[in-house]
Amino acid sequence: MLDENLSSAKTLQRFAICGLGGCGKTALALEYAYRVRAKRPNCAVFWAPAITRESFEKVYLDIGILLQIPGIEEGDADVKRLVRTRLSDEEFGEWLLIVDNADDEDVLFRAAGDGTSTSRLVDCLPHSRRGSVLFTTRSRIAAVRQAESNILDLGVLTREEAKVLLQKQLVPIRQLTDDRAVDEFLELMAHLALAIVQAVAYMNANSTDISKYVDLYKETEESTKDLLGRRFEDSSRYVETNEPVARTWFISFEQIRKKDSLAAEYMSFMGCVARENIPRSLLPPGSSNLRQNDAIGTLAAYAFVTKRQQSGQSNRGEVGDEEALDVHRLVHLTIQDWLKLHGLWIPCVVRAAERLEKAIPFGGHENRKTWTAYLPHAIHTASIPALFDSQVQDALLDKIGQCQHSLGDYKTAISTYERILSQRKRKWGMEHRVTLCSMNIVASVLSVQGQYVEAEKMHRETLALQEKVLGKEHPDTLSSMSSVASVLSDQGQHAEAEKMHRETLALQEKVLGKEHSDTLLSMSSVASILSDQGQHAEAEKMHRETLALREKMLGTEHPNTLSSMSSVASVLSDQGQHAEAEKMLRETLALREKVLGTEHPETLSNMKIIASVLSAQGQYAEAEKMHRETLALREKVLGTEHPNTLLSMNSVAFVLGRQGQYAEAEKMLRETLALQEKILGKEHPDTLLSMSIVAVLLSEQSQHAEAEKICRETLALREKVLGREHPLTLVSVKDLARILRAWGKHVEAAIFDS
């Protein structure tokens, strides 16, 4: 039936396999995939789990890499669009895309809000007469949305189908000669594929015949009475299908506990983490690799785990790294119920959390590929109610937040940090050191999200408490002083920020030493403020000193070292050394993409600076392209109203104006200006920059009166905020003189020229 429906050459075919959990939907889809590869070796087969949006998007990146699609790994790549376009091209050839576990309609049909043509995952599915999409789902509603009337309702197996499955799984086949035992066995299994597979796995592992297993199954009725009284959290299942799954699992698990204690420990551990994509290296270590291999082999032999299907797979190659394991949804629930029934749930959850807390670092760029695979399991375990308010949950959440912060996922990180802060306030009180540390972190994340006023208020509150509790020279207090100064700088209050940073720097050099990472951060901050105030030579000297020390202490690829490289390059550009600055920035960008990823906020800042340097060299077309790429990514990662996103809008408008596209540039600038006034205030340096560019654009369109008015207002505000001698204030003076001359007011212009 599947082959008949999915082999049409007239148009794209979509088909859904719908049925209860455990009825064999995934197994059927997998069997069909293997048959397709055997019958049509030129047909590419791709497997895409749709449990979460993130898992689905990762598959598309894997497919793009597998197919060597040009540009797929570039920072600005629209991965889903590129893959859809490639597979929709009929010259690609035949393909089959299996979308497994498409149970949650929101995963495929809800828009991501990123404004792209593939914001809904269903819209990124390819369309080709030579391609087919096969869905597996527990939800009949989801099946209709995905495949309309092309649905196979699997349900439980017929007697003949169940017997075929039994015959295929069981060794030796001669045991099927006892028809009475076979019929009784299949009735007890409710003709449910998962229960049959688990039972047969036990029989194969223990050389047990069917009649003996039937007797064993009946004997477990009293033992599993309490377990079976529990209800699975699976609304798509009928109550009567609970029993065979739970009882076959119970029989096998009791046998495993007797024969392989490490396998039983692994099964208990996997019940406490997310059931999908469990990296082998995350499992508690055994006495040896051989012992671990045997334990995993035992679980696989009993059909408790399956090796994870490669996310992108075809006859043209494979992708994938470390071996990972999956646990069926019902098996996962049964493990949890068994642990709760035997009073082992809380101890096992605590041990799993301790293992995760030990395995996951405080973010950072080292071993990033490994800890990002652990992170979903840490998030799952940390959310288990049995851990609430415990010390291990606090420690695990702290690491989760740091990892999310390192990934540039600030919105998620702030949620995690606020949860930690709430628990620490309740447990330790406002003045405890760990509570104050959390307050400082929450405020810092608010700052990077552009919520400067709220961040400053929280930083000042934290600083006051730390001075009271810890003292003025405590490292935590000095860190808060630096944070207050930074958020003042973010709001354009450079003079006050510089004073505070210099005071912090002097104390840190005294208390921590010149080479401490916190001291180097303050050095970098002072240098950046000097640059903001036009003192470029002094800023360059200080940035270079910081860079040399960071290379010595942290290495050339550490994110802080890369930040210093970018700062040196920026100040070179400010002094007109654009070629040298561009070379250094491109080197830094390559390293940031390698270390942090293409969409990390720091990587995007690097892209923006390169584009500005290109613009300064008159390479406007290339600069516009890069500014637009950066803007699109910032809107996706940071949101449309983040100050950095608005700076990118400003930059795109500026370079459009340089190319004579005044109308589009002015429209974009006025939109940016309105948002900056709303978010940052009328006197913020970023707002004044947009006002300055608007004035120049109006003048170039001969709207001299309005241009003069806006330019005079900008000049007055810059003198107030930045000072009369600040480079940007002087730029406004020159702009005003130029506007006056263009309007024929030469005498007045001469005053400003002088």
pLDDT in tens, 604-623: 999 999 999 999 999 999 99
Q: Which CATH architecture has domain 408-533?
A: Alpha Horseshoe (1.25)
φ/ψ (deg, to 5) at 403:
-65, -45
Q: Which CATH architecture has domain 2-153?
A: 3-Layer(aba) Sandwich (3.40)
CA 645 – CA 178 distance, rounded (Å):
72
Give the single-character DSSP code of 437: H
Query: What pLDDT is stored for residue 400 in this prediction?
Result: 94
What is the CB-side half-sphere exposure of residue 371 using CA atoms within 13 A? Answer: 23
Triad 454, 455, 460: Cα angle to 5°: 100
- The residues, any chain, with a CB within 8 Å of residue 546's CB and separated by 6 or more, are 520, 523, 524, 527, 564, 567
CA 471 – CA 539 distance, rounded (Å):
31
Query: What pLDDT is stored for residue 226 in this prediction?
Result: 63
CA 253 from centre of chain: 36
pLDDT in tens, 21-70: 666 777 788 888 888 888 888 899 998 877 777 677 778 888 888 888 88
Give me the residues of the chain with pLDDT under 70, please: 1-12, 20-23, 54, 73-77, 104, 111-119, 139-140, 155-156, 172-175, 221-243, 309-321, 365, 753-754
Cis omega (within 30 of 0) on the bond before 172? yes
Residues of the chain with CATH 1.25.40.10: 408-533
What pTM does this model have?
A: 0.65
Closest by CA position to 473, among listed 508, 517, 521: 508
Query: What pLDDT is stored for residue 332 in this prediction?
Result: 85
CA 737 – CA 754 distance, rounded (Å):
10
Q: How far is the CA of 563 from the CAs of 137, 517, 534, 547, in angstroms?
A: 47, 13, 20, 9
Tell me the percentage of the chain whose pLDDT exceeds 90. Answer: 44
